[in-house]
């Protein structure tokens, strides 16, 4: 689906207010519950394709150009991802030119919104964006980032890996879990886990690599 279509779908009030069964089933679930339900509890790295297929969520790569340039959405800045509701379907869209790690984080982040903020989305047809103008202090975005970290880097699996490492290397851990060093660094900080930062990557947005 092209970006223009996304913009048109977003402006349709009738579509926005449709009760989506798929989203309703996701609302309130934790990252841990999603991992168990989709058979990814013991998988490293987490297979997002399996998660989406099991949850009946579609994913699609796009450019977002038309959406970013439209008068309705010009204030969003550069868009990395969004959730689109249509009938009983949930679609997660991500920027096709992004790196693999950024795509994975964007998908996990948008799935987080479905679980954490499903009630408001069901009530208002709310579509969550992940963009360059997203506030780092927005509680909803912070919660979605935390959820994404829990999904991509499960604490119980991280502890198993750490127990086997003499030196908890940041880049090694990022490679094992197939995430960027920035995402891994944020997760380790969140869990208050000491590690050896052997990367020279600048501090950018989560999932920028």
The structural domains of the chain, with segments of one domain joined by +, span 3-152, 155-190
Outline where DSSP puts E strands in the chain. Answer: 57-62, 79-86, 89-95, 129-131
Q: pTM (2 decimals)?
A: 0.83
SS3 category, 199: coil
SS3 category, 90: strand
**84 in Cβ contact with 91 (< 8 Å):** yes
What does the pLDDT profile of the chain (209 residues) look like in tens digits? Answer: 555 555 555 544 444 455 789 999 999 999 999 999 999 999 999 999 999 999 999 999 998 877 666 655 556 667 888 898 888 899 999 999 999 999 999 999 999 999 999 888 877 666 667 766 666 678 888 999 999 999 999 999 999 999 999 989 999 999 999 999 999 999 999 999 999 999 975 444 455 55
């Amino acid at each position: 689906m092209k970006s223009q279509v996304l913009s048109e779908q977003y402006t349709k009030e009738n579509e926005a207010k449709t009760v989506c069964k798929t989203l309703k089933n996701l609302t309130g679930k934790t990252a841990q519950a999603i991992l168990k339900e989709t058979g990814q509890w013991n998988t490293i790295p987490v297979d997002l394709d399996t998660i989406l297929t099991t949850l009946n969520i579609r994913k699609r790569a796009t450019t977002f150009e038309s959406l970013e340039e439209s008068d309705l959405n010009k204030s969003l800045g550069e868009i990395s991802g969004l959730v689109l509701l249509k009938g009983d379907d949930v679609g997660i869209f991500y920027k096709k030119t992004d790196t693999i790690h950024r795509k994975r984080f964007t998908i996990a982040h948008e799935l987080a919104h479905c679980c954490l903020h499903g009630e408001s989305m069901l009530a208002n047809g709310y579509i969550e964006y992940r963009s360059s103008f997203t506030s780092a202090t927005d509680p909803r975005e912070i919660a979605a980032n935390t959820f994404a970290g829990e999904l991509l880097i499960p604490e119980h699996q991280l502890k198993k890996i750490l127990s086997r490492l003499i030196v908890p290397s940041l880049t090694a851990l990022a490679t094992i879990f197939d995430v960027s060093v920035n995402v891994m660094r944020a997760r380790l900080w969140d869990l208050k886990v000491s590690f050896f930062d052997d990367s020279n990557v600048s501090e950018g947005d989560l999932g920028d690599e």
